[in-house]
Amino acid sequence: MVKERLYKLSAKELSDLMSKREISSYETVKDIAERMEEVETIVKSYITTNIYKAIAAARKIDKFIYKKKRIRGGKFIYRTKNIEPLTGIPIAVKDNITTKGIHTTCGSNILGNYKPIYDATVINKIKESNMILTGKTNMDEFAMGSSTENSSFWTTHNPWNLNNVPGGSSGGSAAAVAVGETPLALGTDTGGSIRQPAALCGVVGLKPTYGLVSRFGLIAFASSLDQIGPITRNVQDCALLLNIIAGHDSLDSTSVFKDKEDYTKYLKEDISGLKIGIIKELMGEGISNYVKGAVYKAINIFSSLGAFCEEISLPSLKFALSAYYIIAPAEASSNLARYDGIRYGLRAKKVKSFRSMYRKTRSQGFGDEVKRRIMLGTYALSRGYYEAYYLQAQKVRTLIINDFKKVFKKFDVLISPTTPSVAFKIGEKFEDPLTMYLSDICTIPVNLAGIPAISIPCGLKNNLPIGLQIIAPHFEEGLLIKTAYNFEKKFNFKLKPLYRKF
């Protein structure tokens, strides 16, 4: 019997122990529940917990894993058939992914009481894999933010330092994985919302190629940018979870027809000869010196593993932030027009007319950041400004895509910092939106280009994690996983919040 607390183990370690019948899913979920009792009131990772249903689901799965076969010599002989990877493993899900009968709020008052009548495709996939939902994690309202301070419910705290933000918008998912409230989580990434909180919380976050993972059931922010992806404690767990959620879905018109791939086959310790480009534009002004130092140390590690590293330039990246903050708000303005107080969600009371009801519902239901982006997007799409702003931003997007295509003809992967700095103090940037937007300067280009990227820990500053971003061409998630796995093995990062007593 395992003596160590189960919440400290990776998903793969838990799965292996279940396969050997040394632990049960019930014991795992119960230990996760105990950890949640210890830390949730302090870290505040979840909006909605699902622990009672999770325990019931675990007992049901254990009946399958531990099904009695026959008695020999007075002892039960259990079924010997191997269980599927991640069967019985807990997982948390960001609260903008629909879950049938379970609140899905998007961190917003306007959806505060919304219970979907259907599951998102990724939820169906994790259920089919017999994984267990522990709850819905906190997030910036409608995924608009970089700190999880924009949630309409509460601010999530970084488990490395409770005075600091966990990043955003998937801050609840990243904090929950880092502190041991779940071994696995799903987040969403529109401009860095998986990778940025993963970097600030010292965990692994992967933004897949646009179209690799179904967006059906994801409540939209910016439809041409949004993507669901895994947040895990290590690269191996990331590969296992990506195996489950990736794949074509007829319910999503942007889902790509592609042969199913086993990403665990890329967990090999050999990157000799790999060509790595260091993005010059993401190592300059605005990036903290200690972050640059950690990235250069990572470069030395890659070189010691036999990789070839060279600085490269993508000139169009200097326009990425500006283009993103026209395209994303424009799409948000269109997507959020559906919240009108009529069909679902919040409806203002004591109104005298339809116009008054519509205005008061949106005024009461949306927070300041969401209102700000709706206004920006509506302005960019308005008559007389569409060509000057939105159309020009899309042209810049094309330049960025072409710049990435050009460098990938020579290099296998690219690297940069994930964030310009470590996690900042809660409240430090909340009143300064422009400074907050700069937190995503390294991650946004990847979303505009629709290519995959992963963030992995590469150092510490003042006991706060630093993230390294690795970028690959379209549908080269396997190469990302192989590159990240080799670095992770050599760097051997320790996730300290797992062992912290709050």
Q: How far is CA 242 from the centre of its chain?
A: 12
Look-up of token digits 């967006």? 215
Q: Give the pLDDT mean for 182-209.
A: 98
Active-site option among 146, 193, 255, 416: 193
Q: Amino acid identity, residue 367?
A: G
The region that residue 167 occupies, defined by phi over 0 for left and psi between -120 and 50 for alpha, beta otherwise, is left
Check pLDDT > 50 for residue 126.
yes
Nearby residues of 399 by Cβ (< 8 Å), 6 or more positions away: 316, 319
DSSP secondary structure string, 225-286? T--EEEEESSHHHHHHHHHHHBS--TT-TT--------GGGG--S--TT-EEEEEGGGSSTT
Q: With 80 as the cut, is the pLDDT of residue 78 above it?
A: no
Average pLDDT over residues 474-484: 98
Give the pLDDT of residue 466: 98
pLDDT computed for residue 350 by the predictor: 87
pLDDT of res. 76:
54
Mean pLDDT of the region 21-37: 96
Burial 306-327 (b: 16+ CB within 10 A, else e): ebebeebebebbebbbebbbbb
Residue 81 banded pLDDT, cuts 50, 70, 90:
low
Catalytic residue among 169, 173, 416, 439: 169
Give the other-Cβ count within 10 Å of 475's Cβ: 17
SS (H, E, C) 44-97: CCEEEECHHHHHHHHHHHHHHHCCEEEEECCEEEECCCCCCCCCCCEEEEECCE
Confidence of residue 70 (pLDDT cuts 50, 70, 90): low
pLDDT mean across residues, the chain: 94
Catalytic-labelled residue, pool 12, 94, 125, 482: 94
What is the identity of the amino acid at 255? Answer: S
108 is catalytic: no
Q: To 10 degrees, the CA torsion angle through 230, 313, 308, 459?
A: -50
CA atoms within 13 A on the CB side of 337: 9
What pLDDT shows up at residue 82? 61
pLDDT at 73 over 90: no
Has residue 75 got a pLDDT over 60?
no
| H-run or E-run covering 466 | strand 464-471
Report which of 85, 91, 83, 93 is spatially closest to residue 29, judged by C-alpha positions: 91
* Structural domains of the chain in order of their starting residue, each with its CATH number: 6-314+397-499 (3.90.1300.10), 320-395 (no CATH)
Q: Who contacts 125 (Cβ-Cβ below 8 Å, separation ≥6)?
A: 244, 245, 247
SS (H, E, C) 105-151: CCCCHHHCCCCCCCCCHHHHHHHHCCCEEEEEECCCHHHCCCCCCCC
pLDDT of residue 71: 54
Based on the residue annotation, tell me whether 410 is a catalytic residue of this protein: no
Q: At residue 283, does pLDDT exceed 50?
A: yes
Q: Is the pLDDT of residue 97 over 60?
A: yes
Assess whether pLDDT exceeds 50 at residue 80.
Answer: no
Confidence of residue 448 (pLDDT cuts 50, 70, 90): very high
Which has the closest alpha carbon to 43: 197, 193, 188? 197
Full-prediction pTM beyond 0.85? yes
Q: pLDDT by residue (tens digit) across 411-429?
A: 999 999 999 999 999 999 9
Q: Verify whether residue 304 is a known catalytic residue.
A: no
Band of the pLDDT at 67, cuts 50, 70, 90? low
CA distance 323 to 391: 10
